[in-house]
Amino acid sequence: MKTAIMASRKNLRDGGDPPRIDAIVARVRGEFREMPGLQLTLAQACRLWQVDIATCEMVLEQLVRDCFLRKTNNGRISAYNADRYTEADRYTEKE
């Protein structure tokens, strides 16, 4: 799947289709699993996954709803770990 996403950048330059949302979601899940403790701002996430702000927000919000990610008090996105965070920390308001 990473190959398809990496290839999507070339496809966009050549007029190809953008990557599907489910492919981006899978990539984001993979990145957070591979790098425990990863915390990103929205701008950093957009650069890392090479997507526009609206797409990135949609993907991150989906993963927050799925309780895979959480938004920290300082506005960063991090993996949700039930052993580490309290129930109140799970649901933080969007700025």
Q: Assess contact for 68 and 80: CB atoms under 8 A.
A: yes
Distance from C-alpha of 5 to C-alpha of 23, rounded to nearest angstrom: 7
The residue among 41 and 87 whose pLDDT is bigger is 41
User: If you average pLDDT over each of 1-5, 9-13, 43-47, 70-74, which comes out highest?
Assistant: 43-47
> With bands split at pLDDT 50, 70 and 90, how would you rate the model's confidence at 51?
very high
What is the average pLDDT value for the chain, to the nearest integer?
A: 77
Mean pLDDT confidence for 29-35: 93
Q: Cα separation of 29 and 49, whole Å?
A: 12
Is 0.85 surpassed by the pTM of this model?
no
Please, is 78 exposed, middle or buried when counting C-beta atoms within 10 Å of its C-beta (0-12, 13-18, 19+)?
A: middle
